[in-house]
Amino acid sequence: MADKQTLDFYKANAADYVRVTGTEPGPRLLAFIGALPEGGRVLELGAGSGRDAAEMLRHGLDIDPTDASPELAAEASARIGRPVRILRFSELDAHAAYDGVWASASLLHAPATELESDLARIHRALKAGTGEGRDGLGRYYNYPDRATLESHYRRAGPWQNLAIQSVMGSGYDNRPTEWLWVEAIR
């Protein structure tokens, strides 16, 4: 976000903006936090008042808070007790560095002509969500997505009535988890 008039607004109104945005996290933030691995790395685009960053820190996430407005970054930094980087969407150059990106009410400031390239940068900054890896408890998983799992079944032999269903649930760690349920007849 590089719009001078918008940055000037936040420069002139940063303290009032912080006061008005409140202190309670919303349900979407809590759902986002719950979907991340324990200690997950999060890029926050548009830290604003620091409210959401404070909540993510409280839940033990490793956050990289950013804002395009130096004044809002200073407000958020004071609230969370750590630096908030000054970063415009166009300056994001991370690759596979984050488990999640939180951009609450910030991408709407991106110029429409740049939104696609901003989203591409965000996509590059995220770690892949499938493939081998370990969960937050250190356990190994092969983490197939639906298409990969179906491909494995089809190559393994002819199955009758192969059906794969995606169901949200949780496991031992009580984290939201997408489970792939397979029904197949030989």
Helices (H) and strands (E) in the chain, counts: 6, 8
Token pair 């496991």: residue? 171
- The answer to pTM > 0.85 is no
Per-residue pLDDT of the chain (186 residues; tens, 9 = 90+): 678 999 999 999 999 998 888 778 888 999 999 888 889 999 999 999 999 999 999 999 999 999 999 999 999 999 999 999 999 999 999 988 898 999 999 999 999 999 999 999 998 898 866 667 677 677 777 878 788 888 888 888 888 888 999 887 777 777 667 788 888 887
Cα Rg of the chain, angstroms: 20
Domains of the chain by start residue, with CATH: 4-125 (3.40.50.150), 133-185 (no CATH)
